[in-house]
Amino acid sequence: MTDEVMPTRKIIHVDMDAFYASVEQRDNPDLRGKPVAVGGSSKRGVVAAASYEARAFGVKSAMPSIAAQRRCPDLVFVKPRFEAYRNVSRQIREIFARHTDLIEPLALDEAYLDVTEDKQGIGSAVKIAKAIRAAIREETGLTASAGVSYNKFIAKLASDQNKPDGLCVILPEQGEAFVATLPVRRFHGVGPRTAEKMQRLGIHTGADLRAMSEEWLQRNFGSSSSYLFKAARGIDHRRVNPSRERKSVGGELTYFNDKQSNEELRAALDEIVDIVWRRIESSGVQGRTVVMKARYSDFRTLTRSKSLTRNVADRAEFSAIGHALLDQILPAEMGIRLLGLTLGGIDQSGQNTRPDAAAEPLVGAQPSLPFDNIEN
């Protein structure tokens, strides 16, 4: 079967607007209308999320807190409350489930929905998206943006098109032209390094990408070439996957003061073991690979890992492996500003697939996301 004759699906991508910051503003009226950043305000803090008032000053997620304060001197920092965010996320999932059983969470604040089968008989994907957004506003006091289209790639692009509190619909006959107008840095899967490489090669928009042959893309982008070739033409046949496989579970701590002595580093790792093992138990996963990550004061980052032929048996074994990996870099050549542990090599056959488990933010899966850095 060719790409052109695949059956058309009705896909919605729902993305909450400035989710963490919006929850804080909802729960604390004093924060409403003010520039708010969720994260630590110290010299090593990182912005996990920024309200739209803060974004107007150029404050962004993953920005160092010091840089954010320079851009917005009146910025209000709020410590993250992940349990509150998870509770709201569960409310939102319940709203999704009224309309479809095909829900693929990407994070606490976003998900793909396949509404090809109209569970409530509402009549169209656009009407379903409107009903979902209205229910989210009424039941949580928050706003969500949605993209409606015929595949996941374009639905996700569309959800970002009219933020905040927006709706964008891209019909099948509009997809290729829509993609052509967009900067390639907005394409899902095109990270900063790939975007930089594309810029050097003269590729700035979807139209520029579409002009390149699949052979040229293969030479320059290797295994990503097929995805890029299809994306530039608005083609994406990935299904909405309710049991999206989890690849790792982890956590890391960034320290206000560097740690260097063997004793304080071992004590720090014990704390990380506690944090990560709680996540592992909550997720119900098992895995056979343990990865230790350390970042020195000069920002050099190294990792050490150990894989077993079976799953890690329990917390004691997870801790023992983690400490053995840490011992490989002791004594530390200089102060360490960040430590992390991740359980990988997840056993998919025994994985817990409850929706909220799949959506919890994971350092191991996405190390660039700042909201997993717990300031100490």
Q: Is residue 162 part of a domain?
A: yes
Q: Is residue 238 part of a domain?
A: no
Residues 276 and 185 in one domain: no
Residues 306 and 348 in one domain: yes
The distance in angstroms from the start CA to the end CA of the chain is: 55
pLDDT tens digit sequence for 14-23: 999 999 999 9
Q: Is residue 244 part of a domain?
A: no
pLDDT tens digit sequence for 55-66: 999 999 878 888
- Of 110, 139, 281, 375, catalytic: 110
Residues 121 and 135 in one domain: yes
Domain span at residue 362 reads 249-375
pLDDT tens digit sequence for 169-205: 999 999 999 999 999 999 988 888 889 999 999 999 9
CA angle 278, 279, 280 (to 5 degrees): 90
Continuous segment of H or E residues that includes residue 343:
strand 336-346
Q: Is residue 210 part of a domain?
A: yes
Residue owning tokens 């359980």: 343
pLDDT < 70 regions, the chain = 1-6, 44, 244-245, 282, 348-376
Which of 121, 154, 172 is at the close of a domain? 172
Continuous segment of H or E residues that includes residue 55:
helix 52-55
pLDDT of the residue at 257: 85
CA distance 322 to 127: 51
Residues 54 and 182 in one domain: no
139 as an active site residue: the answer is: no
Residues 12 and 155 in one domain: yes
pLDDT of the residue at 8: 87
pLDDT tens digit sequence for 325-365: 999 999 999 999 999 999 999 886 644 433 333 333 322 22
Residues 126 and 162 in one domain: yes
